[in-house]
A and B are shown apart, each in its own frame.
Chain A
Amino acid sequence: MTNPTSSGVAEASLAPSADSHFSRKGLVQLTLLGLLLLLPVTAYFLGHIYYVNLASRITIIAMAAVGLNLAIGYGGMVSFGHAAYFGLGGYVAGISAYHAFDFTPFMTWPFSVPGSDNLLVVWLAAAVLCGLLALAIGAISLRTTGVYFIMITLAFAQMIYYFANSWPTYGGEDGLPIYLRNGLPLVDTTNTLSYFLICFAGLVLAMAITSRLMKSRFGAALTMARLNDVRLATAGISPYPIRLIAFVISAVITGLAGALYADLNGFVSPTMLSWHFSGELMVIVILGGVGRLYGPLAGAILFVMMETLLGGITQYWQLFLGLVLLGVVLFAKHGVMGWLAGRERNE
């Protein structure tokens, strides 16, 4: 050793004992992601377009839940209003397409903003607007904790819901159709498989960002804010700005999922903004495993499959969803991922 400051002992203890071998967790994660990619591709080439769209739906809902999981699971901020960002993202896609289709500007004063049917523009606008909305809502809501935080985030989301409901320009409660799916240069987004692959890329990117973020200094501070905010403050880091930025990132991910969802369905309505959807996202996060990277994906697969399979048999399918949720909360506290992949060990 030439460097005297890093002796052999220090070197050994400076890193946690890593288990780099292929683990059960890794296998479960790879299987989930692999099936989500391979099944729709297979279905497409067998001509079952319906299943490709179903997979897109699962993917998008999972991505929205990845956003919420960052707030609830990693940040300990139980937001009951994430439908606001999902819906806003959806309306950005819808309104932008509406004006592009009509060749009318979205606004003329103080400067002219035209509509756009380019997905990149739509996504950028959705990300910026959802970020700003979350910054405002978060700045106020994060001054409260616990039940008050849940209620205030719900209240803000409901305000936006009723606003969309009563604004006739963009369809009010009837919603707004998107006649032609927004496009990308060089890609035919109206192709079912292409659009699925775009959604899949979005989900993987959202998960990769979450994973990387939580390993960074910011993630370390956010984890401490969740576990013990007094410790964080005593260590010299104010919890509030850390939480606020995490809340904004979380909302942006959910908002982008909303934009994808509107273009998938060719339709956006206040339903996307309703508290039912906020609740569904929470159910998905809890089903999958709170604070688990692959939890939202596992939860979304389970949720949408139940909705589709049981919903086809009985309209009371949510009774069974309730039973499953009850089972998870009582017997598998760490969700489907905890059950499949084992407990996660912190370092």
Chain B
Amino acid sequence: MSDVVLSLHQLHKRFGALQATNDVSLELHQGEIHALIGPNGAGKSTLIGQIAGNIRPDEGSVFLAGTDITRMSIAQRARLGLGRSFQVSSLAEPLSVMRNVMMGVQALQSHSFRFWKPVARDKELLEPAYEALERMQLSHRAWTPVSELSHGERRQVEVACALALKPRALLLDEPMAGLGPEGSAKLTELLEALKAEVPILLIEHDMEAVFRLADRISVLVSGSVIAQGDSHAIKQDPRVREAYLGNDDA
């Protein structure tokens, strides 16, 4: 299929006796939000690590827009268009929001071995970064240090950083983590507006957000994908109900 942006092909990863990823294949298509859910210890973090580049799979491959990125570094993947956010915000706190977001623009435009021109007045850097911030409705905070932002705003900055890369695919690791209902609703809205442009692989615990946002859902249990389908199918799937959605009918 031509509209597959990100695909995982039969990934395996083993830590000693623990099979953390067991034959996982999944695809992210243009224009969709694909949610990955699973109980704690299902191997979500290991899987994200293999997509993002900090963990090498034992077997299998990862493709981004048709390119095999399995052996590439984190930075190479980012330059090819993989944007990601972290479960725990990973930003440079003393720096302004703008300086955090500008990093992605800089990587995209050229190498960083430019030693002379000051960045503070570099419109080539500032304007795309500002645009990414506007998309996340954060432009009014551009010159505020990240350390002065609320938790919810930081989550938005994370996504803006990823957007600055003009990514082909977004990998969002629990973007709603720690957000109240209001912040969660706002971010849900922002992500919904994004998906037409950038497909999103969403790892999320907030089920309300998942069912509202996701076009397709994959359920990971003990390292394997046990079910895949739209939210309706997943809600009905007996294996998922047993493994994940609660044993309350047992």
Do A and B actually bind? yes
Chain A's nearest CB lies how many Å from the CB of B182? Answer: 25
Does the CB pair A234–B90 fall under 8 Å? yes
A231's nearest neighbour on chain B, judged by CB, is: B90
Indicate if the CB atoms of B120 and A347 lie closer than 8 Å: yes
Question: Pick the contact of B99 from A220, A230, A233 — CB < 8 Å?
Answer: A220
Given A13-B142, A231-B91, A237-B75, A216 and B119 contact (CB-CB distance below 8 Å)? yes
- The minimal Cβ–Cβ distance linking A338 to chain B, given in whole angstroms, is 14
Whether B116 sits at the interface, judged by CB under 8 Å, is yes
Q: How far is the CA of A104 from the CA of B105 in the complex (A)?
A: 55
Choose from A17, A212, A223, A234 the contact partner of B78 (Cβ within 8 Å).
A234
Residue B73 CB within 8 A of the other chain: yes
The reply on B102 being an interface residue by CB < 8 A is yes
Interface: A147 (CB within 8 A): no
What secondary structure prevails in chain A residues at the interface with B? helix
CB pair A13–B103 under 8 Å, yes or no, is: no
| Minimal Cβ-Cβ distance residue in A for B100 | A231
Q: A10-B130, A218-B114, A218-B115 are in contact. Are A346 and B94 (CB under 8 A)?
A: yes
Q: Kindly state whether residue B108 has any CB partner on chain A within 8 Å.
A: yes
The one of B75, B90, B127 that contacts A14, using a Cβ cutoff of 8 Å: B127
Q: How far is the CA of A213 from the CA of B120 in the complex (A)?
A: 12
Tell me the A172-196 residues at the B interface (CB within 8 Å). Answer: none
Contact B112 A227 (CB under 8 A): no
In the complex, chain B residues 182-200 whose Cβ is within 8 Å of any chain A Cβ: none
CA distance A233 to B161 in the complex (A): 12
Contact of A238 with B84 in the complex, beta carbons under 8 Å: no
Contact across chains for B143 and A17 when beta carbons are under 8 A apart: yes
In B75-114, the 8 Å CB interface with A consists of 75-76, 78-79, 84, 86, 90-96, 98-100, 102-104, 106-108, 110, 112-114
Question: How distant is B94 from chain A, measured CB to nearest CB, in Å?
Answer: 5
Within 8 A of B (CB), among A203-244: 212-213, 215-221, 223-224, 227-228, 230-238, 242
Contact A347 to B106, CB < 8 A, known contacts A13-B139, A216-B118, A233-B75: no
8 Å CB interface, B131-159 against A: 139-140, 142-143, 145
Closest Cβ of chain A: how far from B13's Cβ, in Å? Answer: 20
Nearest to B106 among chain A residues (CB) is A217
Decide if B126 is an interface residue (CB 8 Å cutoff): yes
The total of Cβ contacts below 8 Å across the A-B interface reads: 131
B121 at the A interface (CB under 8 A): yes
The answer to whether A236 and B107 touch across the interface, beta carbons within 8 angstroms, is: yes
* CA distance in complex: A217, B78 (Å): 18
Which of B84, B119, B140, B164 contacts A220, CB < 8 Å? B119
Q: How far is the CA of A227 from the CA of B99 in the complex (A)?
A: 12
| Contact residues in B for A233 (Cβ distance below 8 Å) | 73-75, 78
Of the candidates B106, B113, B118, B145, which one forms a contact with A235 in the assembled complex, judged by CB atoms under 8 Å apart?
B106
Whether the pair A212, B116 counts as a contact (CB closer than 8 A) is yes
Beta-carbon contact of B161 and A234 below 8 Å: yes
Contact A215 B118 (CB under 8 A): yes
Q: Mark A243-278, 1 if CB is under 8 A from B, else 0.
A: 001000000000000000000000000000000000
Which of B75, B123, B126, B139 is the most central at the interface, judged by chain A CB atoms within 10 Å of its CB?
A: B75
For A215, give the chain B residue with the smallest CB separation. Answer: B118
Contact B130 A236 (CB under 8 A): no
A5, CB-defined interface residue at 8 Å: yes
Are A235 and B120 in touch, CB under 8 angstroms? Answer: no
- Contact among A13, A212, A238, A347 with B75 in the assembled complex (CB-CB below 8 Å): A238
Check if B130 sits within 8 Å of A228, measured CB to CB: no
Q: Which of A15, A16, A216, A236 contacts B104 (CB 8 A)?
A: A236
Give 27 pairs: A residue, B residue, CB < 8 Å, sorted on A: A10-B130, A13-B142, A13-B143, A14-B123, A14-B126, A15-B121, A16-B96, A17-B143, A212-B118, A213-B115, A215-B119, A216-B114, A218-B115, A224-B92, A228-B90, A230-B90, A231-B90, A231-B103, A231-B161, A234-B74, A234-B75, A235-B103, A235-B107, A346-B94, A346-B95, A346-B99, A347-B99
The 4 tightest CB contacts between A and B, nearest first, are A236-B107, A236-B78, A227-B92, A235-B103
